DNA sequence: TTGTAGGCGTTATCAA
DNA sequence: TTGATAACGCCTACAA
């Protein structure tokens, strides 16, 4: 494990010169530089990022803490973040909090301890706490869900409006008993989607269930709804992972989407056009969320005095067959 | 950004005592310890992992470099790795090489520079080079695909056998012109799946195409195959991302899986039971791959003299409707 | 049990 | 332009 001083010794120069050569900072005599490069090559030298970061008090890595790696929505965000970060020379490490406060806290600690340059985070819920990170001056950007009680940059989707619109779409298509299957209470997107649904049908007509943002919970909740004496004739589903559970529940009861029960789901997962009938969805600009969030984070790293901004993107209803009789 | 000496000053002790207290190493007078803890709390002290790792020459983070975050197969591996690592106190950072040699090299560099404790890697192809990592003594475990020319731990799937078996399954079900759609040449799993297919049909009957491990390329390749004068009547598809493209190509031609063309795909993605007819798949134990790989890596971190082992897991054909007329 | 001091590998400051 | 040298924040002999 060759160090900078090994290289210096071999090249017959000081460590300072080696450092300068390797970082291309101030000018170095071409001949010395060549000797340094050669020595480094021969020794198989690789800079120790730990020492460098310790000295420089900065890192070129961003942490992206998402709440579910198995959800295509979040992996699209990840790609957006990554693509933008990469061109600025940052690398992105992805951490999966798995909708679990403990894991999230642990990764937040890692980010803190490793002194990453910045953190992008989709908070698991109201308990998420980034004050320690903030105290240290590490910039944080919230994606998909706001960070309660903190004034940091945020990239959100107007999900309440989208839910309202989707619900009205179902009503306009002749469904009379539209229900909603949303995520856990306290998760902002879940709350907002439910609110949008309520906006559209009114409190008095509300039929809804909450479950984890997972297939399994959604299957049970959908089953529960469908087995009521007066079951709903349409369903707004809060994300594509849940939609899988819902569709399984339908299949188990030989119910056909569209004809028997109207379905609209959030998130345009790649498989939604493959099923019969194709799923009407609310497409969120996930990749764009990632890009914008990374932009905001980089801007804040460059200038910590910027006013925090909240960017709200629009979702788009893609009308397919599952919402038509 | 309080340091250990700030805490020491405030508690009226030496930095050594603070360090010992915080790490619970040798015994410290309870009263002093209490003072230290209190001071740390008041100052909002958080250890600097960079400095600690530099000093200790070790980190508690593992890097997992996968070739496609958007492929459920790899995200399942990630969960397996994570679950196992977590109980041993390691955190896992996920890097997405995106089947791209440059990105992969970059993340390998990051892993090298950050001196992570170990690396898990699904190599993008034959150009993947981990010798620099190895020279530094960083343990590497290959997952899903072997690492050519290096004797490191590996966790693989007997994918050739699985492909052979899947092809025979199609033949046994009466399909006469079975084709294969595999991934890029040089990617070991793609080569092996093609080989398994060839084992079953024989070189002389072979009909196959290669494309990227992506929906888009698969759609084109499948279209090309289907538009031949004498198109195949069955298709073995090398992964679930490609299957999406294939199914799109079928839909565009009003072809029905099973009846018109038999389909078997690798990877039991969550949506495969939702489509009509349900997709017959080769299920790989992705989560298990991740767990085993993490075990191997941890074992090697603990004892670098261990002989490298290759663990080969079995895949399982799940017979559903798309492979029946 | 506690403190002093040296060093992990870099970079940045300051003279020369 | 180059080279000593002092940090960066932490841990750990070694000494007290």
Kindly report, residue by residue over A276-297, the tens digit of the pLDDT. Answer: 999 999 999 999 999 999 999 9
Contacts of A314 (CB under 8 A, 6+ apart): A157, A158, A161, A162, A285
In degrees, to the nearest 5, what angle opens at C-alpha A179 toward C-alphas A174 and A185?
150
- Residue A234 lies inside a defined structural domain of this protein: yes
Average pLDDT estimate for B41-68: 93
**pLDDT band, very low/low/confident/very high, at A149 (cuts 50, 70, 90):** confident
Q: Domain containing A31: what range?
A: 1-45
Predicted confidence at residue B301, as pLDDT, reads 93
Domain count, chain B: 2
Supply the pLDDT for residue A25.
77
Nearest CA in chain B to A113: B49
Identify the pLDDT of residue B197. 98
Which nucleotide is nearest to A52 if distance is taken from CA to C1'? C10
Residue B273 has a pLDDT of 96
Asked whether strand D has any atom less than 7 Å from the CB of A20, the reply is: yes
Q: What is the mean pLDDT of residues A72-79?
A: 97
Verify if strand D has an atom below 7 Å from the CB of B58: no
Quick one: DSSP state of residue B261?
B
- Distance in Å, residue A20 CA to nucleotide D3 C1': 12
The DSSP H or E segment spanning B65 is: strand B61-66
Out of B51, B69, B275, the one facing A78 most closely (by C-beta) is B69
Domain annotation covers residue B109: no
Is B78 inside any structural domain?
A: no
Question: What is the β-pairing status of strands A178-182 and A153-157?
Answer: unpaired
E-strand ranges in A174-315 read 178-182, 208-210, 234-237, 262-266, 280-283, 310-313
For residue A16, the domain's CATH number is: 1.10.260.40
Domain membership of residue A241 (yes or no) is yes
Rg (CA), chain B: 25
How many pairs of residues across A and B have Cβ atoms under 8 Å apart? 140
Q: Which of B197, B262, B249 is nearest to B218 (CA)?
A: B249
- Confidence at residue B137, expressed as pLDDT on a 0 to 100 scale: 87
Which contacts qualify for B189-195: CB closer than 8 Å, 24 or more apart?
Answer: B189/B144, B189/B145, B189/B157, B189/B159, B189/B238, B190/B238, B192/B159, B192/B160, B192/B163, B193/B159, B193/B160, B193/B162, B193/B163, B193/B236, B193/B238, B193/B266, B194/B163, B194/B238, B195/B160, B195/B163
What DSSP element (H or E) covers A142?
strand A140-143
| Angle, helix A240-252 to helix A215-226, in steps of 10 degrees | 40
Sorting pLDDT into bands at 50, 70 and 90, what band is A94? very high
How high is the pLDDT of residue B304?
A: 87
Q: How many CA atoms lie within 13 A of A15 on its CB side?
A: 6
Out of B30, B45, B60, pick the residue that ends a domain: B45
> Does the distance separating the beta carbons of A79 and B70 come in below 8 Å?
yes
Strand D near-CB residues (< 7 Å), B 135-154: none
- Which residues does residue B141 pair with via DSSP β-bridges, in sequence order? B120, B153
Residue B197 dihedral angles phi and psi, to the nearest 5°? -60, -45
With beta carbons less than 8 A apart as the criterion, state whether B139 and B296 touch: no
CATH of the domain at B233: 3.40.50.2300
Question: Does residue B272 form part of some domain?
Answer: yes
Asked whether the predicted pLDDT for residue B26 surpasses 90, the reply is no
Contacts of A188 (CB under 8 A, 6+ apart): A123, A145, A146
- The sign of the dihedral angle between the CA atoms of B110, B115, B120, B122 is positive
**pLDDT band, residue A29 (cuts 50/70/90):** very high
Dmax (CA) for chain B in angstroms is 87
Q: Do A46 and B75 touch (CB under 8 A)?
A: no
Which residues partner with A318 through β-bridges? A281
Residue B58: its pLDDT value, please? 87
Before A49, cis peptide (omega within 30)? no
Q: Which residue of A has its CA nearest to B272?
A: A271
Residue A196 domain flag: yes
B interface test, pick of A94, A109, A240 with most B CB neighbours within 10 Å: A94
The mean pLDDT of chain A is 95
CB contact at 8 A, A162 and A315:
yes
CB within 8 Å: A54 and B49: no
End-to-end CA distance of chain B: 68
| Nearest residue of B to residue A252, measured between CA atoms | B274
CA B222 to each of CA B190, B241, B250, B308: distance values in angstroms, whole numbers, following the listed order: 16, 13, 8, 40
CB A26 under 7 Å to nucleic chain D: yes
- β-bridge partners, B269: none
Instruction: Give the nearest partner residue to B112 out of A46, A95, A275, using CB atoms.
Output: A46
Those residues whose C-beta lies under 8 Å from the C-beta of residue B56, and which sit 6 or more positions away, are: none
Residue among B254, B311, B265, B263 nearest B288 (CA): B311
Give the best residue of A66, A271, A279, A320 to mutate against chain B (max B CB count within 10 A).
A271
Mean pLDDT of B12-31: 92
Grade residue A124 by pLDDT with cuts at 50, 70 and 90: very high
Nucleotides on strand D lying under 7 Å from protein C-beta: 1-13
| Residue A144 forms part of a structural domain | no
- Residue A311 forms part of a structural domain: no
Chain B interface mutation, best of A53, A84, A112, highest count of B Cβ atoms under 10 Å: A53
Q: Which residues contact B39 (CB under 8 A, 6 or more apart)?
A: B7, B10, B11, B45
Query: B194: helix, coil or strand?
Result: helix
Residue A271 is nearest to which of B69, B93, B244, comparing CB atoms? B244
Task: Nearest chain A residue to B89 by CA: give it.
Answer: A106
pTM above threshold 0.85: yes
For residues B192 and A62, what is the distance between their CA atoms, to the nearest angstrom?
Answer: 36
What is the per-residue pLDDT for B79? Answer: 96
State mean pLDDT over B8-15. Answer: 95
Calpha distance B123→B146 (Å, rounded): 7
Which is nearest to A168 in space by CA: A259, A272, A280?
A280
Alpha carbon distances (Å) from A25 to A9, A28, A32, A215, B305: 20, 9, 14, 54, 41
Residue A44, CA distances (Å) to A1, A20, B58, B134 in order: 8, 18, 20, 12
Give the residue-averaged pLDDT of A108-115: 90
Three-state SS string across B11-56, please? HCCCHHHHHHHHHCCCCCCHHHHHHHHHHHHHHCCCCCHHHHHHHH
pLDDT for B27 equals 84
Question: What is the average pLDDT score of chain B?
Answer: 95
Q: How many CB atoms lie within 10 A of CB A3?
A: 16
* pLDDT of A287: 98
Report whether pLDDT(B309) > 90.
yes
């Amino acid at each position: 494990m060759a160090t900078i001083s090994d290289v210096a010794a071999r090249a017959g120069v000081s460590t300072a010169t080696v450092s300068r050569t390797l970082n291309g900072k101030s000018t170095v005599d071409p001949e010395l530089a060549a000797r340094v490069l050669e020595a480094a090559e021969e020794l198989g030298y690789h800079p120790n990022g730990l020492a460098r970061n310790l000295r420089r008090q900065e890192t070129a890595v961003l942490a992206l803490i998402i709440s579910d790696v198995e959800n295509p929505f979040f992996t699209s965000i990840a790609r957006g973040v990554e693509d933008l970060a990469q061109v600025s020379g940052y690398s992105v490490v992805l951490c999966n909090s798995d909708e679990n406060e403990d894991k999230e806290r642990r990764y937040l600690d890692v980010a803190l301890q490793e002194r990453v340059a910045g953190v992008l985070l989709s908070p698991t819920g109201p308990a998420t706490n980034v004050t320690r990170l903030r105290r240290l001056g590490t910039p944080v950007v919230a994606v998909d869900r706001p960070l309660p009680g903190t004034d940091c940059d945020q990239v959100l989707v107007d999900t309440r409006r989208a839910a309202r619109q989707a619900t009205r779409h179902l009503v306009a298509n002749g469904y009379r008993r539209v229900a909603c299957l949303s995520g856990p209470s306290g998760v902002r997107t879940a709350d907002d989607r439910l609110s949008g649904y309520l906006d559209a049908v009114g409190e008095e007509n509300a039929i809804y269930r909450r479950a984890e943002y997972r297939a399994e919970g959604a299957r049970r909740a959908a089953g529960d709804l469908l087995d009521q004496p007066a079951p709903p004739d349409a369903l707004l589903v809060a994300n594509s992972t849940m939609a899988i559970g819902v569709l399984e529940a339908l299949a188990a009861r030989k119910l056909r989407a569209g004809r028997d029960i109207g379905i609209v789901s959030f998130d345009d997962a790649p498989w939604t056009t493959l099923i019969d009938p194709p799923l009407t969805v609310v497409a969120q600009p996930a990749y764009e969320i990632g890009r914008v969030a990374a932009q905001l984070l980089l801007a804040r790293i460059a200038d910590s005095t910027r006013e925090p901004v909240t960017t709200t993107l629009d979702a788009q209803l893609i009308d397919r067959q599952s919402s038509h009789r």
